[in-house]
Amino acid sequence: MIGVFDSGHGGLTVFRALTMRFPQLPFVYLGDHANVPYGDRPSDEIVALTRSGAEALFRRGCRLVLLGCNTATCVAARTLQKDWLAVSGWPGRNILGIVAPTVEAATQTPWAVTTPQYPQKYNTDTIAVFGTTRTIASHAYPEEIRKRCPKVTVVQQTCPELAAAIERGAHDASLDSLVREGVAALLAQTDGMPPHWAILGCTHYPLVERLFRLHLPDFTRLLSQPQVVADSLEDYLQRHPSYAEGAAAAPPLLLTTGDPTRVNTTARIFWPGAPPFRHLGL
Ligand code: DGL
Q: Which of 158, 203, 209, 229 to probe ligand 1 with, by most ligand atoms within 8 A of CB?
A: 203
> 44 alpha carbon to ligand 1 midpoint, in Å?
16
Does ligand 1 have an atom closer than 6 angstroms to the CB of 69?
yes
> 116 alpha carbon to ligand 1 midpoint, in Å?
30
Predicted local distance difference test score (pLDDT) of residue 267 = 94
End position of a domain, from candidates 186, 205, 224: 224
Predicted local distance difference test score (pLDDT) of residue 120 = 87
Does ligand 1 have an atom closer than 6 angstroms to the CB of 204?
yes
Predicted local distance difference test score (pLDDT) of residue 32 = 96
Q: Which of 29, 71, 207 to probe ligand 1 with, by most ligand atoms within 8 A of CB?
A: 71
Predicted local distance difference test score (pLDDT) of residue 24 = 93
Same domain, 183 and 250: no
> 69 alpha carbon to ligand 1 midpoint, in Å?
6
Does ligand 1 have an atom closer than 6 angstroms to the CB of 135?
yes
CATH of the domain at 24: 3.40.50.1860
Residue by residue, what is the 3-state secondary structure of the chain?
A: CEEEEECCCCCHHHHHHHHHHCCCCCEEEEECCCCCCCCCCCHHHHHHHHHHHHHHHHHCCCCEEEECCHHHHHHHHHHHHHHHHHHCCCCCCEEECCHHHHHHHHHCCCCCCCCCCCCHHHCCCEEEEEECHHHHHHCHHHHHHHHHCCCCEEEEEECCCHHHHHHHCCCHHHHHHHHHHHHHHHHHHCCCCCCCEEEECCCCHHHHHHHHHHHCCCCCEEECHHHHHHHHHHHHHHHCHHHCCCCCCCCCEEEECCCHHHHHHHHHHHCCCCCCEEECCC
Same domain, 7 and 88: yes
Same domain, 79 and 107: no
Predicted local distance difference test score (pLDDT) of residue 245 = 84
Same domain, 106 and 220: yes
- When divided into structural domains, the chain yields a total of 2
Does ligand 1 have an atom closer than 6 angstroms to the CB of 136?
no
Atom of ligand 1 at shortest range from CA of 10: 1
Same domain, 254 and 233: yes
Atom of ligand 1 at shortest range from CA of 7: 9
Predicted local distance difference test score (pLDDT) of residue 248 = 81
Same domain, 104 and 219: yes
Does ligand 1 have an atom closer than 6 angstroms to the CB of 36?
yes
Same domain, 92 and 116: no
Predicted local distance difference test score (pLDDT) of residue 107 = 93
Atom of ligand 1 at shortest range from CA of 68: 4
**pTM of structure:** 0.94
Which residue numbers are catalytic? 69, 202
Q: Which of 32, 41, 66, 204 to probe ligand 1 with, by most ligand atoms within 8 A of CB?
A: 204
Tell me which residue has its CA closest to atom 8 in ligand 1.
Answer: 39
Does ligand 1 have an atom closer than 6 angstroms to the CB of 53?
no
Atom of ligand 1 at shortest range from CA of 163: 6
Predicted local distance difference test score (pLDDT) of residue 132 = 92
Predicted local distance difference test score (pLDDT) of residue 119 = 87
Same domain, 210 and 242: no
pLDDT tens-digit profile of 166-198? 988 899 999 999 999 999 999 999 999 999 999
Does ligand 1 have an atom closer than 6 angstroms to the CB of 138?
no
Q: Which residues of the chain have pLDDT under 70?
A: none
Same domain, 214 and 270: no
Same domain, 8 and 84: yes
Predicted local distance difference test score (pLDDT) of residue 11 = 97
Same domain, 114 and 93: no
Same domain, 192 and 275: no
Predicted local distance difference test score (pLDDT) of residue 89 = 84
Q: Domain limits at 146? A: 100-224
End position of a domain, from candidates 180, 200, 224: 224
